[in-house]
Each structure stands twice: as C-alpha cells, then as structure tokens.
A and B are shown apart, each in its own frame.
Chain A
Amino acid sequence: MTLSAATLKPGDARSQVVAEDLTRTQIVQYAGASGDYNPLHTDEPFARDVAGYPGVFAHGMLTMALTGRALTDWAGDGRLLEYGVRFTAQVWPGDTLTTTATVREIADRDGVPVALIDVVTTNQEGAPVMTGSAVARLDP
C-alpha cells in the first residue's frame, strides 16, 4: 500500500494491533534475530533476582520493530525517510500493543511530497510505551 499527497491530510490516522498477548517466545525470537541477548529480556531468574524487576521485559527495539510494521503497512515498502522514538514504559509478557499513526503535516522535501507522522504505541491499559515520529515519502 502507498499513500498519496493528493488524498492524505493532517489528522488522518490509522491504528493497528502489533502484538497481542506478547509471548516470552517472541522476545526470545527477537533476541536471536537481533543478537541482543541481554538477560534482562530472556532470563527470568536474572531479571528478577539480580536486576530487581518483576520479570523479563521486551527489548525496546522489539517494540520499535513491531511499530515499524504498522508504519510500513500504511506507508508502503521502502518509503520511510526517518523513524525515531523514545521508550516511555516497559513492555511485559502478556501485553497487547496497539500503534496509532497520525499525519501531522504534508510537506515537501527536495521536491518530493512527504508525510510527517506522529506515532504512539500503547499497551492494553492505554499507557504509551513508546512515542515518536516518522517521515514517509508519498505519491504525488
């Protein structure tokens, strides 16, 4: 799917569930693919007894990757020019994450129409776990 500057307007938004009842196995999968084996994310005794957390929690970068999927599903493949986020709360096994992307502005960048997009991913309590923004190239 691609988006067009002719039809897209500020305030247009799209929500997508990017993780449903997040499993520890998915966190392990992310550790394996990314190479980030920090035991905080995959090792319950370490996370609890050494680091002092209630248990393991997801890599921030897993949330960013899951959220990125919502952006590419909306804006199209290979169309992101920028994508930046701030991690605001931990994501725990069992969480359900929903990403909402909202067009802030349609702009022109070196003659190419782009959408400036605000993005927030929230958990099942409605609390933001990650906020950020993206710039996506549009069709004219």
Chain B
Amino acid sequence: MTERSFPVEAGHVLMFARTIGDDNPVYRDPEYAAASEAGGLIAPPTFTQASAQFDPDYRLRPKPGEKWWGSASGPGTMPEGGGGLHAEQHFTYHRPVRVGEVLTFSSRPGATWEKNGRSGRLVFTEQITEYRDESGELVVTARAVGVLRHPAGEESR
C-alpha cells in the first residue's frame, strides 16, 4: 500500500470549482472564507478525486515516453482491461478538506463480486482510499466501485 502526498492547492480547487460551475466564494476568496462558518478556504465535496493528479502510477493520464491509447492519426486502441466504468462512489467526510494542507492518501482493494447481465458477466471491484492529514487523522474515506463487462462467451481472466 503506497502512500502518496496530495497538496491541496488554491489554484487546483479554483479550477475544480469552475468545472462544476460553482462560483461559491468559499472555494476561491480567502477573506470571505475566513469570515464564513468554514473558517477558511475549503474544497468541494468530491475534490479528493483529483488526487489522481498526484498519483505517479495513475493510468488515465498520458505520460512522457509512453504511447497513449487515445486517438491521434488513428482512432486509438483499447488497453488490456480497459473499458471499465465507474459504478458507485461513496465518501465519508471526517472534516472538510482545507486549502493549504497536505494530505496523504493510500488505496487498498475492497470486495469483488459478479453479476450476470443480459450482455455478459459484470465484474465489480471495490477500492478504498483513505485521506489523512499531517497529524495522521482521517479527513476523507472514499470507496469506489468499478465495473468491467466480460461479453457472453468470453473466457474469464
């Protein structure tokens, strides 16, 4: 279980809030935020998902020296085990994430289960990620469930 460092940066939070059309000053205006109930700049509820930016092994980002699988001169290629979708996401908030702090996160596998759907076998995989602050206290616990379809007739791998 590798621990990664996740600096919660003001520009990153601003950018994230913009993507969801949220102009709430608690995400961008330090003076407003300091005087508000939050007591300072905080991050939107799903912001910890953007910790992917700080995971050197994250698969869904092009990396120097590695061929990317999206389109270029050709349409691209589906990587091994690719085509999975996000089925569920759950967050437990122990406290809000604050701009300026450095969180540490690590992920571990959770349960795996299967369902037989009309179009084949669906394999669900759970991953649990804990975000802790500098004193080791839990800030956010995230549980993701991914689903990958194995078309009917395909051998299981």
Chains A and B come from one and the same complex: yes
Enumerate chain B residues within 8 angstroms of A34, measured Cβ to Cβ. 16, 19, 49-50, 52-53
- Say whether B88 faces chain A, with CB atoms less than 8 Å apart: yes
- Say whether B1 faces chain A, with CB atoms less than 8 Å apart: no
- Most chain B C-beta atoms within 10 Å of own C-beta, residue among A64, A78, A83, A87: A78
- Say whether A29 faces chain B, with CB atoms less than 8 Å apart: yes
- Say whether A81 faces chain B, with CB atoms less than 8 Å apart: yes
How would residues 68 to 94 of chain B score, 1 for a CB under 8 Å from any chain A CB and 0 otherwise? 011100011110000101111111110
CA distance A59 to B16 in the complex (A): 14
Interface stretch, picked from A6-14, A41-49, A100-108, is A41-49
Enumerate chain A residues within 8 angstroms of B92, measured Cβ to Cβ. 81-82
Q: Which of chain B's residues 34-64 have a Cβ closer than 8 Å to chain A?
A: 36-38, 42, 44-46, 49-50, 52-53, 58, 60-62
Query: How many residue pairs between the two chains, A and B, have CB atoms under 8 Å in the bound complex?
Result: 147
Interface of A is mostly: helix
CA distance A40 to B87 in the complex (A): 15
Size of the A side of the interface (Cβ < 8 Å), in residues, is 47
Enumerate chain B residues within 8 angstroms of A83, measured Cβ to Cβ. 45-46, 90-91, 93
Enumerate chain B residues within 8 angstroms of A19, measured Cβ to Cβ. 21
CA distance A71 to B24 in the complex (A): 13
CA distance A81 to B50 in the complex (A): 19
- Say whether B12 faces chain A, with CB atoms less than 8 Å apart: yes
- Say whether B22 faces chain A, with CB atoms less than 8 Å apart: yes
Contact A35 B58 (CB under 8 A): yes
- Say whether B20 faces chain A, with CB atoms less than 8 Å apart: yes
- Say whether A5 faces chain B, with CB atoms less than 8 Å apart: no
**Apart from A43-B76, A84-B90, A87-B89, what 5 extra A-B contacts exist at CB < 8 Å?**
A46-B69, A50-B78, A77-B26, A77-B42, A84-B143
- Residues of chain A touching chain B, judged by Cβ–Cβ distance below 8 Å, are 2, 18-19, 26, 29-30, 32-40, 42-46, 48-51, 59-62, 64-66, 68-69, 71-73, 76-78, 80-87
- Residues of chain B touching chain A, judged by Cβ–Cβ distance below 8 Å, are 12, 15-16, 18-22, 24, 26, 36-38, 42, 44-46, 49-50, 52-53, 58, 60-62, 69-71, 75-78, 83, 85-93, 95-96, 143
Pairs across A and B, CB under 8 Å, 19 listed? A19-B21, A26-B21, A32-B15, A32-B19, A35-B50, A36-B49, A37-B60, A45-B76, A46-B69, A48-B75, A50-B77, A62-B19, A64-B46, A69-B44, A72-B24, A77-B38, A78-B42, A82-B91, A82-B92
